[in-house]
């Protein structure tokens, strides 16, 4: 039998001994979800980005986002393998309310979510966290440190976001791999702690 050609889809499949975990990368419009998945994915990423039009202007608030010209209209997808053979399948969700009907489909089978936040508009993350809590998913919050965003100590951010003491909060730059990986490791550890333990 011929060997599978290099770069085939079989190369994207995990080993049987790996722990597979579907996670959502969520957050409001223009928060950096697509960027984070592009930064982290070890396979070519799938994106459903479209150019923003004047038709969408009344519902897509680009205030504070002068360089925003495209938007995710369905899902972003990537994959990342963490230490100890944990494989994360990353599903980025659209940030606008008009795409929320997709949430149930995208969230089906997910074990947790990474919520991105921006200190310039923290309040916009509340609705996303509510959606995730309605799904019963554990989540971590990653504050995406934009260059012009004000910096605050983690304890101040936790208070403003009204986070449960067990909910991880990390700071990262979605363009930089190391900090973004730390955010996903914090989420993965939180999810694994939240899973029901099998009786011995």
| pLDDT tens column, 137-192 | 999 999 999 999 999 999 999 999 999 999 999 999 999 999 999 999 999 999 99
Read off φ and ψ for residue 94, nearest 5 degrees.
-65, 150
Give the contacts of 65 (CB within 8 A, at least 6 positions apart). 29, 30
| pLDDT tens column, 108-132 | 999 999 999 999 999 999 999 998 9
Higher model confidence: residue 49 or residue 39?
39
Q: Residue 132, exposed/middle/buried by CB under 10 A (0-12, 13-18, 19+)?
A: buried
The structure tokens 């089906």 sit at 108
Whole-number pLDDT of residue 57 = 47
Q: Does domain 16-194 have CATH number 3.40.50.300?
A: yes
Domain boundaries defined on the chain: 16-194
Share the mean pLDDT of the chain: 82
End-to-end CA, the chain: 43
Whole-number pLDDT of residue 8 = 42
Do 140 and 186 touch, CB atoms closer than 8 A?
yes
Do 169 and 147 touch, CB atoms closer than 8 A?
no
Over residues 94-103, the mean pLDDT reads 69
pLDDT of residue 49 exceeding 60, the answer is no
Whole-number pLDDT of residue 196 = 80
How far from 14 is each of 11, 108, 150, CA to CA, in Å? 8, 20, 40
pLDDT-above-70 percentage for the chain: 73
Over residues 72-89, the mean pLDDT reads 84
């Amino acid at each position: 039998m011929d060997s599978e050609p290099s770069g085939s889809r079989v190369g994207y499949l995990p080993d049987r001994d790996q722990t597979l975990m579907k996670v959502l990368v969520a957050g409001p419009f223009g928060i950096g979800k697509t960027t984070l998945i592009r930064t982290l994915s070890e396979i070519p990423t799938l994106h459903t980005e479209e150019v923003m039009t004047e038709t969408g202007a009344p519902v897509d608030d680009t205030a504070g986002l002068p360089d925003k010209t495209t938007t995710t209209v369905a899902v972003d997808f990537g994959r990342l393998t963490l230490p100890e053979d944990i494989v994360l399948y990353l599903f980025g969700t659209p940030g606008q309310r008009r795409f929320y009907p997709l949430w149930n489909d995208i969230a089906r089978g997910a074990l947790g979510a990474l919520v991105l936040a921006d200190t310039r508009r923290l309040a916009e993350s509340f609705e996303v966290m509510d959606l995730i809590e309605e799904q019963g998913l554990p989540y971590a919050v990653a504050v995406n440190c934009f260059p012009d965003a004000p910096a605050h100590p983690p304890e101040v951010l936790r208070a403003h976001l009204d986070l449960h003491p067990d909910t991880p909060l990390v700071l990262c730059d979605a363009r930089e791999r190391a900090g973004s990986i730390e955010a996903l490791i914090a989420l993965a550890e939180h999810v694994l702690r939240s899973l029901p333990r099998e009786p011995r």
